[in-house]
Structure formats: C-alpha cells, structure tokens
Amino acid sequence: MPARLLCRGCGKVYDLEKDLVLSCISKGDNKDINHILEKIIDPVVSKSLLLASKELNPFIKYKDFFFSHALAQKLNVNFSEIVKKIDPGFSKTPLIRDENLFIKNETGNVGGSHKARHLMGTSIYLEVLGQKKTQLAIYSCGNAAIGASFVAKAAKKSLSVFVPPGLDEGVYQILRENNAQITTCPRVAGESGDPCYNRFQEKLESGALAFSCSGPDNWSNIEGGETLYFEILTELLQNNLELDAIVIQVGGGALASSGVQAFQEFYKARLISKMPRIYAVQTEGAHPLVRAVEKIKNRTELETVNQNMTKYMWPWETEPKSVAHGILDDMTYDWYKIVEGIFTTHGDAITVSEDELKAANKLAKEKYAIPVDHTGSSGLAGLLKLWESGEIAKDEKVAVLFTGVERHKPMA
Ligand SMILES: [Zn+2]
C-alpha cells in the first residue's frame, strides 16, 4: 500500500498528495481528541545493501523510510538532489560502546544537538512540495530553535522563534547569526500551558508554517528524528547485534516518538528481529508522561486514549524546574506513540531526581569525555536507576542518547 498519514485521533487518512499537510485539519475542534498524524509506510529495504552502503547523509541513506521520498517519487522530483540542495551539513554521528551500553553522541550534530534532524525532515517535505510560503515558526527552550535556525537558513526560509526569558547569551547569538526573528515569551498570570507554545500557535494562526518538534502541529519532524535511531540500529546490525532496551529522555516527546516509530519500521522491514523495550525518563519537577502512563491500566485501554486525551494528558500545574531544563515541557505533545511503545514492549516511564541528573552528567563528562548538558545526559540518569533496580540487566544491550552539547556552565 502507498505511504499515507493517519490521524490517530479522528481516523482521517491523508494520501500522498500535492497539498501541504502538517497537521490534521480537525485539530483543535475537541480537546479530548488527540489529532496526531502518523506516517504509515511499508518500507522495502535490502538488508545487505543497507549494511554495505557508504552513504553518510542519513536523509539519503534512509530515504526509503520517508513519506517525503514516496511523495517525491509520485511527483517525479529527485529526492536526493533536494536533500543535497538544502543540507546544512548532516553526517552520521558517533556511537560509543562501553561493554553492553551504546551511547549515541549528538552533541556534534548540526546546531549541537539532535533537534536539527527533526526539522530537516520538515524542510525536505516542504521542498519536495515546492512550498512557496517561506515564513516558518518554532517554540523552543534553546536547542530546537538553534537546530531549526541552521536548517531554515540552509533552505533560505525565514524563521520566527518563540523562546523563554533568560536564555544564555550564546543561544541568542547563534539565532541572530542565522537571521532568526526572536520573540521572548514570559509567563502570563492566569494563562495555562507554555507561553512560548501559546505565542507560537498565534503565529501559526497568522499564516506561518509549523517548523516545530511537536507532532500534533507538524508530523514531519518525526520522520527526520527517526534517522538518529536508524543509524544506531544499522551500526549494531553491522556487528550482528540488536538492542534489548533503550532509555530516552522525554520533554515534548518528539525524540522518543521518533524512536518508537523507527523501531517499528525497522521491525516491519524485517531488518531487526525484535523491538527493544522502551523506557521514558522525565524529571521529578515535571512528568506529564509518567502521570499518563500511570493512568493507563492496560493495552486494551490504549486503544481509546486518543479519544479521551484529557483523562491522560494536560499541562503541568506548576512552573517546572530542573537542571535538565530542556525536558521541562508542560505537556508531552507527542505522548501517544511513546505510551504505545512502552505498553507493547513492556517498558516503563520513570522519573529521576536532581541528584541523579547531576551524577549522570558528571559520569558522562568524566568517563566518556563528552561535553553534554544535563538534559542531554538525562537518559543515562534513567538507565543508572533502571540498572540499580534490576529492571534492565547488565548483560542486556542498551542504548542512551547524549542529545545536546553544554553551552555554558550550569548553576549549581
Ligand atoms: Zn484528526
């Protein structure tokens, strides 16, 4: 069957078509329905050719998994040429092995984090469509805005970024160098949810395109994010290995959602023989996903959560605080795919304390000499806890993601 997009909330299907589709047309009609578009694709991939491929650009190497690629074929445009034309400099990132632990190091990726991968998925989709609108918008607490600014600049698009007050001067500097229009969004008394997200929504209403790492606004960021996992899985396959588990930090949820989607597609294409168990990590300061997972009793209930969203997912009530400030989203916007992954693989969602976050970051820097920030090493904090409880055994193959580079000295 040709690739298509399926709304998990209302069931509407979007076929490969010339019209731009970033979100479900019914989004916003009912707060109880989770209008999240999911790519449905049947990738046909030769394992031997994939393992033999020397291609380093992940968007070209894994093109068979892209809705945008299927669309390019239908529209008769050259996908690889498009990727090369708007590429800000992507290449495969390192995977470090420490016995049974595999660490994907994204701190040297475009913009210093994994975020640019997500937005490259969107940039490619827009370019395949020959989209004429050039005004893009993103909300972010730093890394996503930076990643987006590199990708938007390479594609010659204008970018509005909505960020919280008090970011490090270095972040503003990079954004300015990439010609992003910056709006600082303080909390407003009586307003629910993240003010950056609310101002971003207002910008979309005025005609800008969602260039965000939030699936309900922009499904296409998810297929960009999948490349991170495709790289891990391919490198393991080259060594005849498969993962037993993966521990992923969760803020808005796009990173972990991309992971579940990527594992499912590799499994569907018979490239791996099993799904790894999915573990999600949030802070004690804000854990809307952990709260949702605790409310879902079993897999049967999972079938109706997208039609009863407010029972499971709502904005965190108090202003969240943590040294891992990159995963303090009020809402886990991309929550469904993660809970599906957790329930179908017998994983879990856990919280980590500030002390655990700090200890993991110290270990990451001292043992592996990687300049990762606290958000970036928070998956490792979760793994240390899961190892200690015996939930993940030491002889199991497990992966974590060091997602973002440290940009300044953190406060104690
Ligand atoms: Zn829908």
Cα-to-centroid distance, 135 and ligand 1 (Å): 24
Beta-bridged to residue 349, according to DSSP, are 280
pLDDT band at 191 (very low <50, low <70, confident <90, very high): confident
Cα-to-centroid distance, 265 and ligand 1 (Å): 22
pLDDT band at 410 (very low <50, low <70, confident <90, very high): very low
Q: Is the pLDDT of residue 397 over 60?
A: yes
DSSP letter, residue 346: T
Cα-to-centroid distance, 342 and ligand 1 (Å): 23
Cα-to-centroid distance, 263 and ligand 1 (Å): 24
Predicted confidence at residue 333, as pLDDT, reads 95
pLDDT digit string (tens) for 254-304?
999 999 999 999 999 999 999 999 999 999 999 999 999 999 988 899 999
Cα-to-centroid distance, 34 and ligand 1 (Å): 7
Predicted confidence at residue 83, as pLDDT, reads 98
What does R_g of the chain's alpha carbons equal in angstroms? 20
Predicted confidence at residue 405, as pLDDT, reads 95
DSSP letter, residue 239: T
Cα-to-centroid distance, 220 and ligand 1 (Å): 15
Alpha helix segments (H runs only) across 35-191: 47-52, 58-61, 67-75, 79-85, 115-129, 143-154, 169-177
In 258-397, beta strands by DSSP E? 277-283, 348-352
Cα-to-centroid distance, 10 and ligand 1 (Å): 4
pLDDT digit string (tens) for 208-234?
999 999 999 999 999 999 999 999 999
Q: Residues 245-261: what's their mean pLDDT?
A: 98
Cα-to-centroid distance, 217 and ligand 1 (Å): 11
From CA 70, how far away is CA 63, in angstroms rounded? 9
The answer to whether residues 263 and 269 touch, using CB atoms and an 8 Å cutoff, is no
The answer to whether residues 32 and 9 touch, using CB atoms and an 8 Å cutoff, is no
Mean of all residue pLDDT scores within the chain: 96
Predicted confidence at residue 411, as pLDDT, reads 41
Helix (H, G, I), strand (E, B) or coil at 197: helix
Cβ neighbour number for residue 364 with a 10 Å cutoff: 27
Cα-to-centroid distance, 137 and ligand 1 (Å): 22
pTM of the model: 0.96
Cα-to-centroid distance, 218 and ligand 1 (Å): 13
Q: Distance between alpha carbon 202 and the CA centroid of its chain, in Å? A: 23
Single out the residue of 74, 76, 90 nearest to residue 123, CA to CA.
90
Cα-to-centroid distance, 24 and ligand 1 (Å): 5
Structure tokens at 341: 């992954």
pLDDT digit string (tens) for 120-144?
999 999 999 999 998 999 999 889 9
From CA 345, how far away is CA 313, in angstroms rounded? 21
From CA 157, how far away is CA 134, in angstroms rounded? 5
Predicted confidence at residue 200, as pLDDT, reads 96
The position carrying tokens 């529209």 is 75
Single out the residue of 305, 252, 319, 303 nearest to residue 280, CA to CA.
252
Single out the residue of 406, 365, 384 nearest to residue 101, CA to CA.
384
Q: Residues 191-205: what's their mean pLDDT?
A: 92
pLDDT band at 29 (very low <50, low <70, confident <90, very high): confident
The position carrying tokens 């019914």 is 26
Helix (H, G, I), strand (E, B) or coil at 76: coil
Single out the residue of 253, 247, 318, 246 nearest to residue 286, CA to CA.
318
Strand 135-139 versus strand 95-98 pairing type: unpaired
Q: Give the up-direction half-sphere exposure of residue 232: CA atoms within 13 A in the CB hemisphere.
A: 28
Cα-to-centroid distance, 11 and ligand 1 (Å): 6
Cα-to-centroid distance, 247 and ligand 1 (Å): 30
CATH numbers and ranges of domains, the chain: 95-112+219-402 (3.40.50.1100)
Cα-to-centroid distance, 138 and ligand 1 (Å): 22
Single out the residue of 402, 408, 349 nearest to residue 113, CA to CA.
402
Predicted confidence at residue 319, as pLDDT, reads 85
pLDDT digit string (tens) for 39-86?
999 999 999 999 999 999 999 999 999 999 999 999 999 999 999 999
Cα-to-centroid distance, 150 and ligand 1 (Å): 31
Cα-to-centroid distance, 307 and ligand 1 (Å): 10
Tally of residues, the chain:
412
Strand 209-210 versus strand 135-139 pairing type: parallel
**Residues near ligand 1 ion, CB 5 Å cutoff:** 7, 9-10, 24, 26, 35
DSSP letter, residue 279: E
The answer to whether residues 373 and 171 touch, using CB atoms and an 8 Å cutoff, is no
Cα-to-centroid distance, 402 and ligand 1 (Å): 33
pLDDT digit string (tens) for 307-318?
999 999 999 998
Predicted confidence at residue 412, as pLDDT, reads 37
Cα-to-centroid distance, 253 and ligand 1 (Å): 19
Cβ neighbour number for residue 250 with a 10 Å cutoff: 28
Cα-to-centroid distance, 184 and ligand 1 (Å): 31
pLDDT band at 409 (very low <50, low <70, confident <90, very high): low
pLDDT band at 110 (very low <50, low <70, confident <90, very high): very high
Q: Is the pLDDT of residue 96 over 90?
A: yes
